[in-house]
Amino acid sequence: MMQPLDSDLMRSFLAVADSGSVTAAAARLYRTQSAVSLQVKRLEESLGQPLFERQARGVALTPPVQFTTSANGTAVNNGAATPNGGAAFLHILAAAATDRYTIVVEGSTTGAFAGEQSTLATFTLDAVARDSERVDLAGTLPQYTRWKATRSGAAGDTVEIAVSLIRY
């Protein structure tokens, strides 16, 4: 059975995830950058896996996904439903020239995504700029989650995103 996570480690993790930067998270938490980096490293070690993909300018929570048309993310089994809500994050890592995208984060109790799913968060983005966006989620988050993207615009520009879900 997994041990409860230290609240200071989680606070640092959420600040880095929300800001996309260890430096910005440190300023928000009134800590040094090295202290926040150490806390993230301790959390990653306790979970046995990396939580962030380090990039030249900041960090992203999940491996980025590239697409030029509508796409669906793979359903992720999160182990169990959680009752305390959470937050969904969208990070635009490589912008498109002209197209607009709608990204929907869905949840499912069965993992089938065959009509029983619910919408947890919706992001509408003009993909011409690199940016991050956060949507707070209330209530119970189902065991299974996935994202769906729909492009509007005819250019077919490639966009690179990372979508992350954090449960409280």
- What are the pLDDT digits (tens) for 66-76? 555 556 667 77
Per the CB < 8 A criterion, the answer to whether 96 and 160 are in contact is no
What pLDDT, on a 0 to 100 scale, did the predictor assign at position 31? Answer: 95
23-50: pLDDT as tens digits: 999 999 999 999 999 998 888 787 666 7
Q: How far is CA 37 from CA 15, 57, 58, 59, 134, in A?
A: 11, 15, 12, 12, 22
What pLDDT is attached to residue 133? 76
- pLDDT reported for residue 131: 66
pLDDT of residue 64: 53
Q: Are 91 and 60 in contact (CB under 8 A)?
A: yes
The confidence score (pLDDT) of residue 26 equals: 94
Rg (C-alpha) for the chain, rounded Å, is: 16
Closest by CA to 107, choosing from 60, 139, 66, 63, is: 139
Among 150, 164, 157, 161, which Cα is nearest to 102's? 150
pLDDT per residue as tens digits for the range 84-141? 777 777 767 666 666 777 888 888 898 888 889 999 888 877 656 666 677 888 888 8
CB 12 within 8 A of CB 43: yes
Distance CA 45, CA 57 (A): 23
Task: Name which of 38, 41, 76, 40 is nearest 165 in CA terms.
Answer: 76
Cα–Cα distance for residue pair 88/105, rounded to 1 Å: 8
Q: Report the C-alpha gap between 36 and 160 in whole angstroms.
A: 27
Partners of residue 160 on adjacent β-strands: 66, 94
Residue labelled with tokens 């959390």: 43
For residue 148, what pLDDT is reported?
83
pLDDT > 50? residue 1: no
Who has greater pLDDT, 60 or 149? Answer: 149
State yes or no: pLDDT of 63 exceeds 90: no
In the chain, the domains with their CATH numbers are 7-52 (1.10.10.10), 65-167 (2.60.120.1110)
What is the pTM assigned to this prediction?
0.59
Which 3 state secondary structure label does DSSP give 78?
A: coil
C-alpha angle with apex 2: 20 to 165, nearest 5 degrees?
Answer: 30
